[in-house]
């Protein structure tokens, strides 16, 4: 029998009926003889409500008190699920992050997990007790509740799975796995049976919303097998899938994937912006003069393209950033004009980044050229390009998002038969 961590997001525990449905999923696993720990999010919409309350109380508020308020949503859910399980005859109790304890750093509101002592949990699991754990929270160095930032319950689940030596961490969500691209855009998108940690990390960071990026990073570092599945499948439905797993997607080490596709999926990220500095004096330290102040202002820069003039005296620098950082970045660059030495500052919004991802790119040539030809044939202009060993990202006008995603999805043979 296995030791499992089961994580349920906000839509899965949105009301009492759905919490009872979650309890039936948990009971199915305990009836099968598995040791089970459950990690839950707050009910759908509850965290937003709690955040709004803190802002209404005071626009500038103590981050420690903010954490005390917003962490209460998961506390409620964990208690309700424990009650529902007990009603079904399952030995269960709720745990808050500080009771385990999950130790974090001091960054209240966006803390990172430092350590988890899973010994007491393991002892209780061996005794047949189900641990229902409030996600998204831990205990800071000041012995106060610290929350992990948006999507932090995924990170909680993976970290707990690592701490207790779980065989698998099952992430139950409102979709039934990871798809080759967004099924809302491409009707022929296919559910993937297995995805490597590296591919999933790229997909999550480039726009796929199935898993939080930090949780995938942690899973890869600690080699925690993560299984994405739907909480809305009937709890008593046949657990039949690929490789002795129920329907869903397994995120695992590359070595577990026998047949590697050249391209695994197409991701896209909206709300991208672009800034260009024209005729910048080409001298040592100019890049630091540009990106140093932006970093100090908290602007997250992504793609960077630099073109030096023919005589080598000036250069053009273009980079991308989130739309939310656009206005702040322009102000920073305008203020640093003399230090940078540019003549023209240009910018544009309403862009999208489309990415082609696949482990097979390591051993196959011409993957990028195929994308460029395919997009050119559709009249889609590419504004910027960046690549890594397993990824190609292309910046285009957002009006062409769906056309570009569909084109690339078909081009690499990802459409379902």
Residue whose tokens read 């296995």 = 2
φ and ψ of 164, to 5 deg: -100, 5
**CB atoms near residue 364 (< 10 Å):** 12
Question: Which of 64, 81, 73, 79 shows the shortest CA–CA distance to 139?
Answer: 64
Span between the terminal Cα atoms of the chain, in Å = 36
> Are 251 and 216 a contacting pair, CB within 8 Å?
yes
Binding residues for ATP: 7-10, 173-174, 179, 184, 209-210
Binding-site residues: 7-10, 47, 74, 173-174, 179, 184, 209-210
Q: How many Cα atoms sit within 13 Å of 272 on the Cβ side?
A: 25
On whether the CB atoms of residues 10 and 47 are closer than 8 A, the answer is: yes
- How many residues appear in the chain? 417
Binding residues for substrate: 47, 74
Contact (Cβ atoms closer than 8 angstroms) between residue 350 and residue 397: yes
């Amino acid at each position: 029998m296995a030791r499992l961590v089961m994580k349920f997001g906000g839509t899965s525990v949105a009301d009492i009926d759905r919490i009872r449905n979650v309890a039936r999923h948990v009971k199915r696993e305990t009836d099968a003889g598995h040791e089970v720990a459950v990690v839950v999010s707050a009910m759908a919409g509850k965290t937003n409500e709690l955040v709004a309350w803190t802002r209404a109380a005071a626009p500038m508020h103590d981050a420690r008190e903010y954490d005390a308020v917003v962490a209460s949503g998961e506390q409620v859910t964990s208690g309700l699920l424990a009650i529902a399980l007990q009603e079904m005859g399952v030995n269960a109790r709720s745990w808050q992050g500080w009771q385990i304890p999950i130790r974090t750093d001091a960054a209240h509101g966006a803390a990172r997990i430092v350590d988890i002592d899973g010994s007491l949990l393991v002892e209780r699991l061996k005794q047949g007790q189900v641990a229902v754990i409030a996600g998204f929270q831990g205990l800071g160095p000041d012995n106060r509740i610290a929350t992990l930032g948006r999507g932090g319950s995924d990170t909680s689940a993976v970290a707990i799975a690592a701490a207790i030596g779980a065989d698998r961490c099952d992430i139950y969500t409102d979709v039934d796995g990871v798809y080759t691209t967004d099924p809302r855009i491409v009707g022929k998108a296919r559910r993937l049976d297995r995805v490597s940690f590296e591919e999933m990390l790229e997909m999550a960071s480039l726009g796929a919303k199935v898993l939080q990026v930090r949780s995938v990073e942690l899973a890869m570092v600690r080699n925690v097998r993560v299984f994405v599945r739907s909480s809305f499948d009937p709890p008593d439905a046949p657990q039949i899938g690929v490789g002795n797993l129920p329907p869903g997607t397994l995120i695992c080490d590359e070595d577990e994937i026998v047949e590697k596709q050249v391209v695994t999926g197409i991701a896209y990220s909206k709300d991208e912006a672009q800034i260009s500095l024209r005729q910048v004096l080409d001298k040592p330290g100019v890049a630091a003069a540009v990106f140093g102040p932006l970093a100090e202002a908290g602007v997250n820069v992504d793609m960077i393209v630099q073109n030096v003039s023919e005589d080598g005296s000036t250069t053009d620098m273009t980079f991308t950033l989130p739309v939310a950082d656009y206005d702040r970045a322009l102000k920073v660059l305008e203020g640093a004009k003399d230090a940078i030495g540019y003549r023209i500052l240009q910018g544009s919004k309403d862009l999208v980044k489309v990415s082609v991802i696949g482990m097979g790119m390591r051993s196959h040539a011409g993957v990028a050229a195929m994308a460029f030809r395919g997009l050119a044939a559709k009249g889609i202009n590419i504004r910027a390009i960046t690549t890594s060993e397993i990824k190609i990202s292309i910046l285009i006008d957002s009006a062409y998002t769906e056309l570009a995603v569909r084109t690339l999805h078909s081009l690499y043979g990802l459409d379902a038969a």
